[in-house]
Amino acid sequence: VSELRAEAARIARDLRRHLERGHAEPGGELLARGARAAARGPAVEARTRASATPAAGRAVVDPRPDPAAVRAALPPEVDLFGKPLAPATHFPTAVAEPDVVQVRTAGVHPIDPAARLALTERSLPVLSEVAVEARACTLCALCSTRTQAVPGVGSALSGIVFVGEAPGSEEDRRGEPFVGRAGELLTRIIKAMDDAQLIPGVRLSRDTVYICNVLKCRPPENRNPLPHEVESCAPYLRRQLAALQPRVICCLGKFAAELLVGVKGSIGGLRGKVYRYEGAKLIVTYHPAFLLRSPTYKRPVWEDMQLLAREYQTD
Ligand code: SF4
């Protein structure tokens, strides 16, 4: 069994490297080997896929392999980074059908590439206006301890926004969110989503998603945000979200979830459900900093990213 696991992990690593080198040629031997190893059989073929928005009426030629076959080629015993998974103990291995918590009263923000591009351009002046204001902001006492404010990074291009809690020391020093160890992990998660083509036809990277925090300034010693700090800073986040018009918001940790979902609770209780924020769907998952301390939670986080991808593709 251990030899099989090692072989499966090796194939997954090779597969990811191969995908990184130009997303694998159609019918590549490596993919076929991975598929055989996973005993799921189907040969992998590139294909012409319809645009994610049928209404757009365009077909795009995606040279990458069929995402379903890529996912099938990944051995199930390996996590999103190709490492063997520890046996699940306190969380389910299958994703339950999510509860949609709020009534869907309005449509979801657009997925059409042309509309996303127009949104991206329209959002830029607002995002830079928020950044300028946050950097000069003195609405709460964190202005006196920060090195600089950390407004956000990325774009409206994909329609996905990740919202964390507050900048840490590295973010405070560099003025960019999620660039410390937890940030590197978030970047790897986004890359893993792209490698697995969780959302076919939509490239995912730090440039195509938007990444920001509830608080734009670092709390001393990385303590938790205080209620009046969240209240003072929240309008900046709300203006960013209004400009970005995301299709799906992913709250990383309880402070973002409590602010945007409007209910208190543990992440374990909040995740696995689909909420609404304005015209966006919203899901909740664990903060990458928590994941660094508790790596066994990679599995539920990956399930949450799969939920995000499914919700992204449906209205
Ligand atoms: S945390 Fe927000 S409200 Fe407080 S000073 Fe920074 S930008 Fe202003």
pLDDT digits over 119-138, tens only? 999 999 999 999 999 999 99
Q: Over the stretch 225-252, which tens digit does the pLDDT of each residue have?
A: 999 999 999 999 999 999 999 999 999 9
What's the CA-to-centroid distance between 314 and ligand 1, angstroms?
36
SS3 content of the chain, % helix, strand, coil (to 5): 45, 15, 40
pLDDT at 79 > cutoff 80: no
Residue corresponding to tokens 């005993």: 39
Q: What are phi and psi of 139, to 5 degrees?
A: -70, -25
User: Is the beta carbon of 141 within 6 A of some atom in ligand 1?
Assistant: no
Which tokens belong to 180? Answer: 């410390």
Q: Over the stretch 189-213, which tens digit does the pLDDT of each residue have?
A: 999 999 999 999 999 999 999 999 9
Angle at 243 between CA 241 and CA 246, to 5 degrees: 55
- Higher-pLDDT residue of 203, 59: 203
Which numbered atom of ligand 1 lies nearest the CA of 166? 1
Tell me how far apart the 2 most distant CA atoms of the chain are, in Å. 60
Residue nearest (by alpha carbon) to ligand 1 atom 7: 134
Q: Mean pLDDT over residues 278-292, rounded? A: 96
User: Is the beta carbon of 139 within 6 A of some atom in ligand 1?
Assistant: yes
pLDDT at 97: 53
- Higher-pLDDT residue of 25, 231: 231
pLDDT at 179: 96
DSSP character for 162? E
pLDDT at 75 > cutoff 50: no
Tell me the sheet residues that pair with 49. 60
Q: Over the stretch 82-101, which tens digit does the pLDDT of each residue have?
A: 555 544 333 334 445 555 55
Q: Mean pLDDT over residues 58-70, rounded? A: 50
pLDDT at 72: 57
Pick from 59-73, 152-166, 225-239, 268-282: least confident: 59-73
Q: Mean pLDDT over residues 149-154, rounded? A: 98
- Higher-pLDDT residue of 249, 264: 249
